[in-house]
Structure 1
Amino acid sequence: MIDPRILREAPDRVRAAQTRRGLSADVVDAAVAADERRRATIAEFERLRAEQKSLGKQIPKAQGDEKQELLARTKTLSGEVKAAEAAQSEAEAAYRDLVMSIPNVASEDAPAGGEDDFVVLEHVGEPRQFDFEPRDHVELGRMLGAIDIDRGAKVSGARFYYLTGVGADLELALVNLAMEQARSAGFTPVIPPALVRPRAMDGTGFLGQAADDVYRIEGEELYLVGTSEVPLAAYHSDEILDGSSLPRRYAAFSPCYRKEAGSYGKDTTGIIRVHWFDKVEMFSYTTVEESYAEHQRLLAWEKEFLTKLGLAFRVIDVAAGDLGLSAERKFDCEAWIPTQGKYRELTSTSNCTDFQARRLDIRGRFPEGTRHLATLNGTLCAMTRTIVALLETHQQADGSVVVPEALRPHLQGREVLEPVAK
């Protein structure tokens, strides 16, 4: 949730951020009014409780009519206190519901607008020019014996797949390369749970605007995560971390599950948009002040990884209207997909400032006291899309695929993946 002080002291800043996201600012006005009601009910409750305590001290000293009057007032006051307490609780709940529905205050540096209003920050590498007609990853996957979409659909339905043979080897190689890089950068490797309680999902903002994309286990208070950002953010929930231990960095390997709600008709073939995929995710805890520099570091590590794979990609500054509920700013790395003739998202990194930490009550202890921390996330490698980009970019005319040098030690030294079928 946003810092209540910003809402109280700079509501115009929050209104402007809502407008940049393409959202109504009415919720800000409602939250400001609810905050005023909440504070008024707190003041009234505290006034009545103070009077109640004062009477409690006066009654033992009073006698006769005065004592009877005080007793009568105490009886009346008891009901007033209960009513004031109920009013305070109701006002607090209404205020919290409104504040929880307000997204993080988008950075003024993030472009205004929606999905198509991003700004390209840089291009890295040049899209490959072919002297033959390139095959798409579906055909390459069939020829290499690497991807089996037909049996995935037979067993699990649309948007499922099997990785087989060199396909499975390729994913494991990518996992090892990604974890190797993260480990060398000071990240602690983690394999987190893929099922979490509602507090973790709501605390990270995934039961808000993204709720339709979340799988829930019916009959149990558990959700399948769409990213290991969720269990990593909740890892230190309700904890106070030593400020001298920051930044704390974790790199998690986990399966991810998404309904892909609203994607009807998009990427219906292949493994670009699927209901399940594996991912290596970076996650950082630091101070809000340091979070902006940490955000740039996460982006640099993503760029380093994609460069090792020999992919041409661009970096975009995501528009405010395309940010998730928790993100203050987000950068995407989009790789060139030859057969589609366009760039597609492979990785993203978001600065959530103290938004998630407030919802999950994650604080740091510093000489001047405790305060909420900042959380940041960054995809190092989303397996299926990375495999798509690798196969299509490094293919040869006969359907074989050249293995990037950085991956070879993790692929039994293989330099080329050879077709097993024509």
Structure 2
Amino acid sequence: MIDIRFVRDNPDAVKASQRARGADESLVDQLLTADESRRSTLQLAEDTRAEQKALSRTVGKATPEERPAILEQAQALSAKVKELEQVASEANDEYERVALSIPNVIVDGVPSGGEDDYTVLKHVGEVPEFSFPVRDHLDIGEGLDAIDMARGTKVSGSRFYYLTGIGARLELALLTAAADLAEANGFKLTMTPTLVKPEVMGGTGFLGAHADEIYHLPTDDLYLVGTSEVALAGFHSGEIIDLSDGPKRYAGWSSCYRREAGSYGKDTRGIIRVHQFNKVEMFSYCPVEDAEEEHQRLLGWEEEMLAKVELPYRVIDTAAGDLGSSAARKFDCEAWLPSQERWMEVTSTSNCTTFQARRLGVRERYEGKTRTVATLNGTLATTRWLVAILENHQQEDGSLYVPEGLRPYLGGRDIIKPA
């Protein structure tokens, strides 16, 4: 949730953020109006309640002649208090409705515009050149007996799959390498729940414009997570945490579920866009003034992981209109996809400043008071990486070159031969 004090003091900055996102800047004035209304109505209700209590205290001192009139006036004030409390409650509901509709305020330097208006920050590695016809990841995976889409569809429907044999081993190797890298850098490895309560899902900002991406179990009123970020954001909900020794960092290993609503006909072949996948996600709680520096650290660890699997990639600064509601800035790492001759997102990291923690009530002690912390997240490895690994490291005979960073997790193999 957006910080109302920041909005009161900096309405033009919030409007500029809305414009950069292509969002409705009139919501800022609506929020300020709703904020004033809820505060004034609440104050009036409290003043009337105080008046009613003060009058009630005079009943015992009143003469028998005075008492009926005082009691009548006290009853009238009591009814007025209930009426004003109802008005104040409605004003607060309107305030929360508008506040929840405004996304996080972007940080300085984020490009304005939509999906295609990103800024490329750098390229790393050489795009491979092949002396033989390039095959896509599904052809390669099927040749290695690593991916079985047909049986995934038979059992669960479209966009489901089996990873079999070396495919399963490759994913475990990739995720274990990511877990090792995370632990080496101070993250606590965590196997997270994949079902969460509505208040946790909503607290992370995922029940807004993209709620149709999420699987909901109405009988239990639980949501299947699309990332362990959700469960990790809820880990310290309602708590005051100690950040005196630095950020609290967690690495969540979980299965993830996405409906992929609105993506019909897009990347439907293979395992680029699927309904279920596995992921190791970094999550950090830190003081708000350290958030941008922590964001760069998360990006650095993502790049370190990409180096382990020897993928050519580029880093982009995502445009404001392509950010999720919680993110104030997001960097994407996109690996080269030879079969389509394009860049494909494999990992991203977002600085959510205090947006999620304010909704979830996560605070720290600071200068004798409590204040909201910042939260950040970043993907360290996920099933989609297999797409880039298979395509960039394919060999002419159908075998697969194994990057050095994965060999310790695959019994030292340097080549995987066709089945």
* TM-score normalised by length of structure 2: 0.98
Map of 1:49 onto structure 2: 49
Larger deviation, residues 56-65 vs 132-141: 56-65
Cα distance in 2 between the residues matched to 1:83 and 1:203: 31
Q: Deviations over 1:95-143 (max 9, x none)?
A: 0111011111112311001111100000011111111112111110011
Cα distance in 1 between the residues matched to 2:70 and 2:11: 45
Within the alignment, does 1:410 sit opposite 2:409 as a pair?
A: yes
Q: CA deviation at 1:25?
A: 1.3
1:135-214 superposed matches below 5 A: 135-214=135-214
Q: CA deviation at 1:289?
A: 0.6
Q: CA deviation at 1:153?
A: 1.1
Map of 1:38 onto structure 2: 38
Q: Is the 8 A contact 1:313 1:336 kept in 2?
A: yes
Cα distance in 1 between the residues matched to 2:29 and 2:12: 10
Q: Is the 8 A contact 1:238 1:360 kept in 2?
A: yes
| Residue identity matched to 1:268 | T
Q: Deviations over 1:13-33 (max 9, x none)?
A: 111111111111122221111
Cα distance in 2 between the residues matched to 1:4 and 1:340: 46
Q: Is the 8 A contact 1:48 1:77 kept in 2?
A: yes
| Residue identity matched to 2:73 | R
Map of 2:85 onto structure 1: 85
Cα distance in 2 between the residues matched to 1:368 and 1:348: 36
Q: Deviations over 1:149-175 (max 9, x none)?
A: 111111111111110111000001001
Q: Is the 8 A contact 2:254 2:279 kept in 1?
A: yes
Q: CA deviation at 1:64?
A: 4.5
Aligned to 2:388, the other structure's residue is in SS state helix
Map of 2:361 onto structure 1: 361
1:19-34 superposed matches below 5 A: 19-34=19-34
Q: Is the 8 A contact 1:242 1:366 kept in 2?
A: no
Within the alignment, does 1:75 sit opposite 2:75 as a pair?
A: yes
Within the alignment, does 1:330 sit opposite 2:333 as a pair?
A: no
Aligned to 1:365, the other structure's residue is in SS state strand
- Equivalent pairs counted in the alignment come to 419
Map of 2:286 onto structure 1: 286
Cα distance in 2 between the residues matched to 1:410 and 1:351: 31
Could you tell me which runs of 5 or more consecutive residues in structure 2 were left unpaired when the two chains were aligned. Answer: none
Report the RMSD for the aligned CA atoms in angstroms. 1.1
Q: CA deviation at 1:312?
A: 0.3
Q: CA deviation at 1:245?
A: 4.4
Aligned to 2:244, the other structure's residue is in SS state helix
Cα distance in 1 between the residues matched to 2:321 and 2:411: 44
Within the alignment, does 1:122 sit opposite 2:122 as a pair?
A: yes
Larger deviation, residues 55-64 vs 105-114: 55-64
Aligned to 1:252, the other structure's residue is in SS state strand
Within the alignment, does 1:397 sit opposite 2:391 as a pair?
A: no
Q: CA deviation at 1:6?
A: 1.5
* Identical counterparts, % of pairs: 56
Aligned to 1:244, the other structure's residue is in SS state coil
Q: CA deviation at 1:367?
A: 3.4
Q: Deviations over 1:240-277 (max 9, x none)?
A: 11232431000011011001111011011111011111
Could you tell me which runs of 5 or more consecutive residues in structure 1 were left unpaired when the two chains were aligned. Answer: none
| Residue identity matched to 1:288 | V
Q: Is the 8 A contact 1:243 1:366 kept in 2?
A: no
Cα distance in 2 between the residues matched to 1:104 and 1:194: 25
Aligned to 2:269, the other structure's residue is in SS state coil
Aligned to 2:120, the other structure's residue is in SS state strand
Q: Is the 8 A contact 2:56 2:71 kept in 1?
A: no
Larger deviation, residues 210-219 vs 236-245: 236-245
Cα distance in 2 between the residues matched to 1:104 and 1:203: 13
